[in-house]
Structure 1
Amino acid sequence: MMTQERLKRCHRPIAQRIIVRGTLILDTPTCLGSGDADSPTDIALLRDSVSDRALLTGSSIAGALRNYLREYQHGYGVEEQKGDRATNLFGGTRRDPEGEQSPLIINDAISSTIPTVELRDGVAIESTTGTAKKGQKYDLELLAAGTEFQLSFELLIEKNLSQTQKQALINLLALALRGLEQGDISIGMKKRRGFGRCYVKEWQVWNFYLEDPDERMVWLKFEHWSRDLLPDRETYSSIATALGVSLENEKDERDRFLIHATFQLVGSLLIRSGQDSTERAPDVVHLKSHRQGELKSVLSGTSLAGVLRHRAERIVNTLQGNLAVVNELFGFVDGKQSQASRLVVRETEIEAAKDLVQNRIAIDRFTGGAYHGALFDEQPIFGGDETRVCIELELRNPKDYEIGLLLLLLKDLWTSDLPVGGESSIGRGRLKGINADLIRLHPQNPKQWQIRQINGNLQIEDISDSSKSETLVKYDLEQFVKALLKELGKEV
């Protein structure tokens, strides 16, 4: 039941309104599903019914901001509680019938232009056979990287708030929007497989003090229907500067383990993208995506995650361990039970790769001759000395044995033992390690290691403690692998 105080309350006396606008730019393809069951694709893009432009709903933005703020202040996996700071900005939860209304208004955002749409397909893989599961293929529409949205927020500050409460509310808004500014917040579906990465490049802020009659008139005449930045208005690259606040005392409580590794492509790589739209296109071409207005070869997060999961299961099975270790890391769906992946796999662009069409033919294994009508051609990408493949992984709320499993996966990638993409049986997808940064972003004890391949020698360094010898650094990293063996019931 609502309290008598809330029942008596009939209005909110607003003393100040702060309007914030920003330009959001997509870094990677983004899936904003419409839920249309009659669409020719399984997951269709959500569009504005009037302009036919892509639509990013205010509820999606609010959910992403609220989730980021909760994780930043309490860490991953912690449910929001009554009285948390996030409720001051976003209002009460559904489980709190007496929760306050949100003082933050978030408008729907429409893409600046008619969007460029990419079609991607995917399939579930049977872990035991390594082949596609029957009836598990799907396709989806994605917004291309580079698509821009004009965001608009309005913060309502009530008259009865103290100066401290008012400042705390503005600080919360700045903290949440800084997550968008720095690219820490992804939007849309399949965010943990590289989709939906974005950032805000510039901000504009308006302050209206409604207790002043002249300010009220200015606010009434303001173009609220528009979302665009005004050319004669000062723009800011930092939302904290735009709002005039300092966020230096805000502590990040998220616990993360990051791997940023760079590899050289040995030979060729082929991640199937389906048939090209041109008449003379090869039967199979490597996956490409829009980057800076051009089609670039990419290593997709979905493909890499599938490869890593399959090898992780093989490692655990070899050690006769429980596959629950893998399921907790990569997520699972089992009937009505499911768990999201705690491992975020980014989609990255492949640098300085070359396309080359190859003609192939299927061979009859019985006769040793060619199958009739089985000639086909493919267009993989080939690597040279300058070709670079970057892999970015982020494990949230990591346990030591999970870090150990990721280090074993990194070792297999580094030594060309774990190919990525398709047709690995004919030598495609082999990588050779060049350098890697291992970063443990722990709230109390952050650490960073560097691995370098120099003149055929592997060098490992503890960046957070340069006084350690390489032997001690190797020993520290070996403890993670020993933790994995202990978790799987093996004596160390």
Structure 2
Amino acid sequence: MINKCLRYRNQRHITERIIVKGTLVLDTPTCLGSGDAEGDTDLVILRDSLEDKALLMGSSIAGALRNYLRDYEYGYNTEKISVLFGGQRSEEEGEQSPLIINDAISNTIPHVELRDGVKINSITRTAEDGQKYDLELLEAGTEFNICFELLIENNREQLIRELVIVLQGLESGKISIGMKKQRGFGRCHVEEWQVWKFDLHKSDERLDWLNFEHWKLGLFSSHSIHKSIEKALDLFLDEKEDKCDRLTIEATFTLASSLLIRSGQASSNKAPDVVHLKSRRDGELQPVLSGTSLAGVLRHRAEQIVNTLHKNTTIIDEIFGVDFSKDKTKKAKASRLIVHESVIKESNDLVQNRIAIDRFTGGALHGALFNEQPVFRSDKTELKLELELRQPKPYEIGLLLLLIKDLWTGDLPVGGTSGIGRGRLQGKEAKITLASENKIWKITQISEDELLIIDNSEDLEKFVDALNEEVAA
């Protein structure tokens, strides 16, 4: 009876197999959480059970690739799913995915960064009770050996095309992995590819596939290496095929004052009480403006703008995601605004001694001497902010423009201790790109004394007018 069921069940007639290997490199700190609460931090990274190396699950890679392919092919507001990942998520009995994605282990024992965060009350601008958390992150530069295997039964051209789309997205750094991707974590790229094709109609290639060293990690020294997956699979994409509409803002700033974002870990016992957040880039620690800090500042200012215009703050939830502290019944929704982490280049570290003052006597408070080490501006100090809004509406673009204006003029400080004048930025130039209209606007300010130079400022004013109309409606 069992043999009869096996004989007549629906079998897949695989005619070709394609194996792709690559080296994935993390460009920013990445949170691959294990979900285990037992540890020194609230969220520890997932590690292999045999080796003390970081583990990147194939399911994490598959989810990121699937979302990217959906956006690329059909845009953000559709339920269509391509054939590369099988049936739709809503289907109870869908087709099995023809793409096999292996788990990946880091090439070396990982170096871990500790980050902490806290929820800020938008009214009092102070930390809320019980809302502090900390987590482990993999340092930028960590490498993983990734492996894919495509099983081709039919739809060969479509499957290979969709495989090229997702792997090219990994190659170009357009796909992020792990948690908090909308706040700059998990950015990565693939440097090298190797591809093997096996035509299972041919007996010698069937034997080659059976003898293939599937267990062997990493690239094979005896096989050709490609820098481009399009060239490796001999299929080139047209950039116009990308259906995902997005607004990107790339702005260059300098520091108008000192900046301090508290680090969750001290570099040594002799370090100041509070030091600015640093992250490893290109082998050395560099000060950064974290995406979580910048996103929190932007959200609070957006709420102030919308409340001033007497508009319901649901517009904020549509852009930044849902804030569960206000209404626990709200449906979970990820942020459509991606705020990337920025490296602060050519800055200076100086230690400041401060002391708390007794408000009653007006003298120094006993035992309240402390040191802080913020970053200060030099003649070459520069940081680039990068924001990306998926499927933007005109009034949402107008709101983002107002936020950039407040950052540009120094009216919106970032980081901590803004009450003593820290955290103010000064804009230098900005590039705004709207994919749906294929338009680019540039804003330039040569010096503080000169006026802004804006390309087609009338177009940008229309987006702000759209925000006023939305409020009026």
Q: Same fold (TM over 0.5)?
A: yes
**Shift of residue 246 of structure 1?**
2.2
TM-aligned CA deviation for residue 459 of structure 1: 4.1
Aligned to 1:466: none
Identify the residue that residue 261 of structure 2 maps to in structure 1. Answer: 271
Is this contact kept in 1: 2:46–2:54, CA < 8 A? yes
Task: Please point out which of 421, 424, 430 is paired with 2:418.
Answer: 424
Q: Which amino acid aligns with 1:486?
A: E
Deviation at 1:416, TM superposition (A): 1.0
CA contact (8 A) 2:33 2:179 kept: yes
Q: What's the counterpart of residue 200 of structure 2?
A: 210
State the Cα deviation string for residues 408-459 of structure 1 (Å, max 9, x = none).
Answer: 11111111111111111111111111000011011xx211100000243344
How far apart are the structure 1 equivalents of 2:39 and 2:360? 44
More divergent stretch after superposition (39-48 vs 451-460): 451-460
Residues 123 and 137 in structure 1, CA contact (< 8 A), matched pair in contact too: yes
1:248 paired residue number: 238
* Matching of residue 305 in structure 1 with residue 295 in structure 2: yes
Q: Is the contact made by 1:120 and 1:140 (CA closer than 8 Å) also made in structure 2?
A: yes
Rounded Cα–Cα distance in structure 2 between residues aligned with 1:148 and 1:133: 37
Q: Give the equivalent residue in structure 2 for 1:29.
A: 29
- Give the whole-Å Cα distance in 2 for the aligned partners of 1:213 and 1:45: 44
**Alignment length (residue pairs):** 464
**For 1:111-130, what per-residue CA distance to the aligned partner results, in whole angstroms no more than 9, with x for missing partners?**
11000100100111111111
Judge which range, 117-126 or 320-329, deviates more.
320-329
The alpha carbon displacement at 1:39 in A equals 2.1
The residue number in structure 2 matching 1:133 is 128
Is residue 2:108 matched to residue 1:113? yes
**Does residue 457 of structure 1 match 2:450?**
yes
What is the match of residue 50 of structure 1? 50
Give the Cα separation in 1 of the matches to 2:380 and 2:136. 32
Return the TM-score normalized by structure 2: 0.95
What is the Cα deviation at residue 395 of structure 1? 0.8
CA contact (8 A) 1:451 1:458 kept: no
Whether the aligned pair in 1 keeps the contact of 2:48 and 2:105 (CA below 8 Å) is yes
Find the counterpart in structure 1 of residue 3 from structure 2: none
Match of 2:357 in 1: 363
Distance across 2 between alignment mates of 1:234 and 1:40: 44
Q: Which amino acid aligns with 2:221?
A: P
Seen in structure 2, the aligned counterparts of structure 1 residues 173 and 357 have a Cα distance that, compared at 3 Å, is same
1:91 paired with 2:66, answer no
Indicate the percent of aligned positions where both proteins have the same amino acid: 62
Residue aligned with 1:373, SS: strand
For residues 241-292 of structure 1, the C-alpha deviation after alignment (integer angstroms, 9 at most, x for no partner) is 1011122276111111111000111121000013414111100000000111
Within 2, Cα distance between the matches of 1:136 and 1:35?
A: 18
SS of the residue 1:268 aligns to: coil
Aligned: 1:328 with 2:311? no
- Code of the aligned partner of 1:116: H
Residue segments in structure 1 that go unaligned for 5+ positions in a row: 1-5, 463-472
Report the CA distance between 1:7 and its aligned residue.
Answer: 10
Q: What is the rounded CA distance, in whole Å, between the counterparts of 2:289 and 2:239 in structure 1?
A: 38
Task: Report the CA distance shift for 1:41/1:15 in structure 2 as closer, same or farther (over 3 A).
Answer: same
Unpaired runs of 5+ residues, structure 2, are 1-5
Does residue 232 (structure 1) correspond to residue 215 (structure 2)? The answer is no
Counterpart for residue 142 of structure 2: 147
Distance in 1 (CA, whole Å) between partners of 2:427 and 2:152 is 53
User: What corresponds to 1:314 in structure 2?
Assistant: 304
Specify whether residues 115 and 369 from structure 1 end up closer, same or farther in structure 2 by C-alpha distance, changes over 3 A only.
same
* 1:476 matched to 2:459: yes
Q: For residue 461 of structure 1, report the CA deviation from its aligned partner.
A: 4.6
Q: Does structure 1 retain, via aligned residues, the 8 Å contact 2:114–2:264?
A: no
Report the Cα offset of residue 172 of structure 1. 1.0
Aligned residue in 1 for 2:427: 433
Counterpart of 1:77 in structure 2 is: 77
Q: CA RMSD in A?
A: 1.7
User: Paired residue for 2:156, among 166, 188, 199?
Assistant: 166
Identify if the C-alpha distance between structure 1 residues 404 and 379 changes in structure 2 by more than 3 Å, giving closer, same or farther: same
Q: 3-state DSSP class of the match of 1:454? A: coil
Cα distance, 1:94 vs. partner?
4.2
For residues 467 and 118 of structure 2, what CA distance do their matches in structure 1 show?
30
What code does the residue aligned with 2:463 have? F
Q: How does 1:382-393 map to 2 (within 5 A)?
A: 382-393=376-387
CA shift for structure 1 position 348: 1.2
Q: Distance in 2 between matches of 1:65 and 1:56?
A: 14
Give the TM-score normalised by structure 1: 0.91
Taking the TM superposition and a 5 Å limit, the aligned residue runs for 1:164-203 are 165-203=155-193
For residue 445 of structure 2, give the secondary structure of its aligned residue in structure 1: strand
Cα pair 1:183 1:197 within 8 Å, conserved: yes
Residue type matched to 1:176 in 2?
V
**Equivalent residue, structure 2, for 1:470:** none
Alignment pair present for 1:341 and 2:341: no
